[in-house]
Amino acid sequence: MRVLAVVCAMSVLGGCVMAEAPQAGAWKIERGYDRILGKPAGVALLNARSRNVRQQELRYPYDQLQLGSLQLTCFANAPVVRFEFNHRIGSNRTSRLSYRFDDNPGREAEARFLPPYKTVLIEDPGEVARFAEQLRKSSTLYVRVTSHLAGTSTVEFPLKGAALAIDAAYQSCPIELPSKSPSADARPDPLYFVPT
């Protein structure tokens, strides 16, 4: 009887541990502590299959999967969005990063490509804030990198659990939305204002 009670207690405790596992949907969430800054730190990672026909034909055997990952993290005490592929995607002068959440209009992002040109970063605070705001309330993200040299790379991410991932990844470098003064909101944009 005591053995049964111990086994039941262990299974209950094991259930608690599993419930606290740092995952939400397909996201892998790592929580830690930055000993330099003296505050909590986190990283959220999401993987999916990518596609680039040119790179598949040039560099990879047909049985090797092409993969892309989305990573949310802090760098230099600021939030960044990082896309990483296991194949070349392009360079700063010859490539563009675009993305689309669900059925919302697509957007070309201001981004920086890192050698050996398998990684691209969104670092601009306003761009990161815009990205994270849409990420929090969307169910899918489609990403396309177009390059003169490396061809077109695409990847689609299922976003279930994104809110938890954002909160964990940016806990030590919170996203600050660009502030607008009330008077600026009240004025029409002079580029699009048509007097009647």
Residue 15: pLDDT over 90: no
Q: CB of 147 within 8 A of CB of 95?
A: yes
- DSSP state letter for 136: H
- Let me know if residue 95 belongs to a domain: yes
Count of the separate structural domains present in the chain: 1
In degrees and rounded to multiples of 5, residue 121 shows phi and psi of: -115, 140
- Let me know if residue 165 belongs to a domain: yes
Question: How many C-beta atoms lie closer than 10 Å to residue 132's C-beta?
Answer: 21
- Let me know if residue 114 belongs to a domain: yes
Average model confidence (pLDDT) across the chain: 79
- Let me know if residue 181 belongs to a domain: no
- Let me know if residue 16 belongs to a domain: no
- Let me know if residue 98 belongs to a domain: yes
Q: Per-residue confidence at 14, pLDDT binned at 50, 70, 90? A: very low
Q: CB of 111 within 8 A of CB of 121?
A: yes
Residue 50: pLDDT over 60: yes
- Let me know if residue 182 belongs to a domain: no
Q: pLDDT for 142-185, tens place per residue? A: 999 999 988 899 999 999 999 999 999 999 898 886 655 444 44
pLDDT score at 39: 78
Which tops the pLDDT comparison, 56 or 127? 127
Which residue range forms the structural domain that includes residue 78? 23-174
The structure tokens listed for 48 are 């999916």
- Let me know if residue 52 belongs to a domain: yes
Residue 111: pLDDT over 80: yes
pLDDT score at 187: 39
